Structure 1
Amino acid sequence: MAELIYFAYGSNLHPLRLLKRVPSSRPLGCAVLPDHALHFDKKSVTDGSGKCRIGAEPDCRVHGVLFSLRADERPYLDRAESLGVGYFLEDVQVLNAAGEQVEAFTYVANPERLDPTVQPYCWYRDIVAAGARFHGFPADYVQSIARRPVWEDPDPARRARQHELVRDCLNWRPAEA
C-alpha cells in the first residue's frame, strides 16, 4: 500500500488525535516549516471557532510532526479537514530533526475562511498544546499556544467530548513495539 508523508501542525499533532482520524498514521519525527507562522484565525466550517493555519512569514518557524499514513486513508483526514472548503492540500518542504529537507503534504487554509475576529475553543487550543508538549517542542513555542485567547464552546456535549479527548491525549503513551 502506498504511504504518504503528512506534516501536522495543529490539532493533528498529537498521535492519539490523528490515530482516531487515520488508523494507519505513525509519527516519523519532528520537523519545522521555515518562514511560516502559526495562526488560529481560520474560521471552522462546522462550528465557527478559530482553527490553526500556517501563513508565510519571514524569519518564523512552524513546528510540526511528520506522519506516515496509508494513501487510501487520506480521505478520512480530508473529511476531518473539510478539504476544498476549509483547507486545501499543498506540498511543503520542511526540515526534519537532522536538518534535512523532506517533502510532505499539509493542509493550508482557504483564504475565504480567514477571520481575524475568531478564537479557538479552549479544548481545541488545549489539544494543539498537548501535541506540542508531547513532541517536546521548544517551551516558548508551547507557551505561545497555551496562552492563546479562547472562546468557551457553547455546545456542552461537544465541549465534554473534546475535553475528554484532551485528558486522553495528556495521559496517552504509545504501545511498545
Structure 2
Amino acid sequence: MMTKYYIAYGSNLHLEQMAKRCPTAKVVGKSEIKDHTLTFRGTDNRSFATVEPCKGDSVPILVWLIAPDDEKELDIYEEYPDLYRKEVMEVIVDNQPVNAMVYIMNEGRPLNLPSKEYYLTILEGYNSAGFDVEYLNIAMENSVEKMNNIKKNTRLDYAVYEFPFGLLKIGYKKSVLTMVKKIDETSDYGRKTEFTERVYREIMEYLNGERISFDITYNLEGTDFQKRVWEEIARIPYGETRTYKEIATRVGNVNASRAVGMANNKNPIMIIVPCHRVVGTNGNLIGYAGGIEMKKELLDMEEKVIMEVVRKH
C-alpha cells in the first residue's frame, strides 16, 4: 500500500479528530515549517488556518504517515482543490529530511478570525502535541493586527537612507519614530525631515562607536505580547546579550522562547530597540531580520567599544 507524509498545522493536530477521519494514519513526529507563519483567512464562520511565507518565522507541525484512503478523506475535509491546494515541503523528522504533502489555502481569501469551535480544536491539538500555545495565540493576535491595519489604511511617512548594511527605512508619525528597518532596494526614498535626519545621525553615531544610547521618542506598534517582549529587549544594556529563554522568563512565560523569537524577528525599530542583543541558548547568533552578519558586526562593535572604555580606565 502506497503511503506518504502529510503535514498538519491546524485542526488536524487534533488526534481524536484525525483518528475518526483517517483511521490508518499514524503520527511519525513533530517538526516545523521554517520561514512560514500561521494565519487565518476566509469569510465569517468559514475562516480557517493556512501557512504563508514569512522569513524568520516557523510553524509547529505534526507529520503523519497517510494511506490513499486517508488522503481522499483529507481532500474532502480540506475542500481540495477549491479552498486548498496541495504542495510538497521538505521538513526534518528525527533529524532526517522528508518530503511531505501540505494543504495551503488558495489566494484571494481575506484575513478573518476562525470560529471559537475551530480555534478550540486547534488549541487541543497544540496541548496534546506539547506545542507552545503562545504561538497559536500570537497567530490570532497577528491576524487581528493585520486586519486592523488594513482597515485603518493609515499612511506612514518615511525616509530612506544609505547605511553600511544597505538601505535604512525610517518610518515616523510627526516626530515619533515608528519604524527602523533594513531594506534591500527601493525606488522611493520618501520624505526626509529634520526628525529623520536626527534619527539617522544618531544611528550613524552608534554604528561608528560614538553613541551607546538614543534620544529618540518612539512608539512600538504590535500585539500586547510583542510589546512586552520589545520593552524587555529595550532594557538590555549596551554591550550585553540575553537569551530567548531569559527574555521569555522576564515576560512571564519561561516556555515561550519560540514566541519570543518570533516577536524579536518582528521588532519594528531595529538597532534602537536592540533585538540584535538577543541570542540563542549557547550564544548562537540566530533570528535577526537584518541578517546574521549584521547582527555579528553590531555585537562585535559594541564589545570593542566596551573593551576600549575599560582599557582607558
Report the TM range for the smaller structure's normalisation.
0.7 to 0.9
Contact 1:128 1:145 in 2 (8 A): no
Q: Is the 8 A contact 2:123 2:133 kept in 1?
A: no
Whole-Å separation in 2 of the counterparts to 1:58 and 1:83:
27
Query: TM-score when scaled to structure 1?
Result: 0.74
Residue 63 (structure 2) pairs with residue 69 (structure 1)? no
CA contact (8 A) 1:125 1:148 kept: no
1:135 aligns to 2:129 (yes or no): yes
CA distance in 1, matches of 2:25, 2:86: 18
How many residues align? The count is 144
Question: What SS is found at the alignment partner of 2:110?
Answer: coil
Deviations 1:42-67 (A, max 9, x none): x26xx742100000000000101001
Q: Which has the higher contact order (CA 8 A, sep 6+)?
A: 1
Question: What does residue 111 of structure 1 align with?
Answer: 107
Structure showing greater radius of gyration is: 2
* 3-state SS, counterpart of residue 111 of structure 1: coil
Please say if 1:92 is aligned against 2:89. yes
What is the alpha-carbon root mean square deviation over aligned residues?
2.1
- How far does the alpha carbon of each residue in 1:17-43 deviate from its partner, in whole angstroms, 9 at most, with x for none? 1112111111111110000000011x2
- Runs of 4+ in structure 1 off by over 4 angstroms are 145-150
CA distance in 1 between partners of 2:65 and 2:32 (Å): 16
- Segments of structure 2 that go 5 or more residues without pairing to the other structure are 145-313
Consecutive unaligned residues in structure 1, runs of 5 or more: 151-177
Match of 1:39 in 2: 39
TM-aligned CA deviation for residue 145 of structure 1: 5.6
Higher strand content, 1 or 2:
1
Percent identical? 26
Letter in 1 for 2:54: E
Query: Do the aligned partners of 2:50 and 2:104 also contact (CA within 8 Å) in 1?
Result: yes
Query: How does the TM-score come out when normalised to structure 2?
Result: 0.43
**How far apart are the structure 1 equivalents of 2:114 and 2:21?**
20
Quote the residue 2:25 is aligned against.
25
Letter in 1 for 2:138: S
